[in-house]
């Protein structure tokens, strides 16, 4: 099995070292960066399987790092946010982070989250290119056809794009703003109702249990068995 590589971006040496030591002990190859520009350069050089990213960084912050990484080569990101800063968490999820941990966190929790992110990424890359399967849901990208439990659903093009985006990130909490930006390409986030109405359409056609509402944030696709 190939060793998975994690990039740790943190300017506080004590935290950076303990995170790196724990992840190495868990079997990961670990690279370190201490500021925004360094993080982007390191990610290009090392092609990590996951990134542990502090929000408060010199140069430019973790949110900007996240934006740049997801724009060039998407990678699972675990964001480290300051205690009780809900705004950082929400913005982080909106710009492409997959998960977040609030400081202070336990190394055990951190290790568990990183393992989960990497597992998810590995699963995605080992699936055949044209067909995506999540539980009883099957999406054929090339033909743009969707089946659930063997029954085909007729989706509009936007419903299909939204479902595919959700299904490529099973169980990840995706804020309405991020869905608008990624699926619709809208920078203006006043249209979040649009997301709600398309989710409603998907639930009607594919079953109400498929997409979970995360109150005040957005949606997550639950992998039905
Ligand atoms: Ca920091």
User: What are the DSSP calls for 160-181, one per residue?
Assistant: HHHHHHHHTSTT--EEHHHHII
Rounded distance, CA 193 to CA 180, Å?
Answer: 10
CA angle 128, 132, 133 (to 5 degrees): 115
Measured in angstroms, how far is the CA atom of residue 143 from the centroid of ligand 1? 45
Residue 180: its pLDDT value, please? Answer: 86
Is the pLDDT reported for residue 127 higher than 60? no
- State the number of CA atoms in the 13 A half-sphere of 190 facing the CB: 1
Residue 128: its pLDDT value, please? Answer: 55
> Which stretch of DSSP H or E encloses residue 219?
strand 218-221
pTM over 0.85: no
Its CATH architecture, for the domain 131-221, is: Orthogonal Bundle (1.10)
Q: What angle do the packed helices 192-206 and 157-167 form, to 10 degrees?
A: 90
Q: Which of 25-34, 38-47, 51-60, 76-85 has the lowest mean pLDDT?
A: 76-85
What value does the mean pLDDT take over residues 40-69?
Answer: 93
Measured in angstroms, how far is the CA atom of residue 7 from the centroid of ligand 1? 15
Cβ neighbours around 115 below 10 Å, total: 16
Rounded distance, CA 149 to CA 171, Å?
Answer: 19
What value does the mean pLDDT take over residues 134-153?
Answer: 91
- Which one of 21-25, 87-91, 131-135 scores highest in mean pLDDT? 21-25
User: Residues 161-212: pLDDT tens digits?
Assistant: 999 999 988 888 899 988 988 888 776 767 778 889 899 999 999 999 999 9
- State the number of CA atoms in the 13 A half-sphere of 34 facing the CB: 7
pLDDT > 90: percent of the chain: 52
Measured in angstroms, how far is the CA atom of residue 192 from the centroid of ligand 1? 31
Helix (H, G, I), strand (E, B) or coil at 54: strand
Measured in angstroms, how far is the CA atom of residue 82 from the centroid of ligand 1? 9
pLDDT grade, residue 53 (50/70/90)? very high
Rounded distance, CA 37 to CA 34, Å?
Answer: 9
Residue 1: its pLDDT value, please? Answer: 58
Measured in angstroms, how far is the CA atom of residue 51 from the centroid of ligand 1? 15
Measured in angstroms, how far is the CA atom of residue 15 from the centroid of ligand 1? 9
Residue 138: its pLDDT value, please? Answer: 93
Phi, then psi, of 187 in degrees rounded to 5: -85, -30
Bond prior to 81 in cis (omega within 30° of 0): no
Domain 5-125 falls under CATH 3.40.50.2300: yes
Measured in angstroms, how far is the CA atom of residue 81 from the centroid of ligand 1? 9
User: Residues 64-110: pLDDT tens digits?
Assistant: 999 999 887 778 899 998 866 777 777 777 777 888 888 999 999 99
Is the pLDDT reported for residue 48 higher than 60? yes
* Domain limits, the chain: 5-125, 131-221
Which has the higher per-residue pLDDT, 194 or 146? 146
Cβ neighbours around 133 below 10 Å, total: 13
Measured in angstroms, how far is the CA atom of residue 79 from the centroid of ligand 1? 11
82, 103 contact by CB (below 8 A): yes
Measured in angstroms, how far is the CA atom of residue 63 from the centroid of ligand 1? 12
Is the pLDDT reported for residue 8 higher than 70? yes
């Amino acid at each position: 099995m190939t060793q998975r590589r994690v990039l740790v971006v943190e300017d506080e040496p004590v935290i950076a070292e303990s995170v790196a030591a724990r992840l190495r002990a868990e079997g990961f190859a670990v690279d370190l960066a201490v500021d925004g520009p360094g993080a982007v350069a390191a990610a290009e050089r090392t092609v990590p399987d996951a990134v542990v990213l502090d929000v408060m960084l010199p140069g430019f912050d973790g949110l900007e790092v996240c934006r740049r990484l997801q724009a060039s080569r998407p990678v699972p990101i675990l964001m480290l946010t300051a205690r009780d800063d809900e705004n950082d968490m929400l913005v982080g999820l909106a710009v492409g982070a997959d998960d977040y941990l609030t400081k202070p966190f336990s190394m055990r929790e951190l290790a568990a989250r990183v393992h989960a992110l990497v597992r998810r990424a590995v699963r995605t890359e080992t699936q055949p290119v044209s067909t995506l399967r999540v539980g009883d849901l099957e999406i054929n990208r090339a033909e743009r056809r969707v089946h659930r439990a063997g029954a085909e659903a007729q989706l509009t093009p936007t419903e299909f794009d939204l479902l595919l985006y959700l299904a490529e990130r099973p169980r990840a909490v995706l804020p309405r703003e991020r869905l608008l930006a990624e699926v619709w390409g809208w920078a203006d986030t006043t249209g979040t109702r649009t997301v709600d109405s398309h989710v409603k359409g998907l639930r009607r056609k594919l079953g109400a249990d498929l997409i979970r509402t995360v109150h005040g944030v957005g949606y997550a696709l639950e992998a039905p068995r």
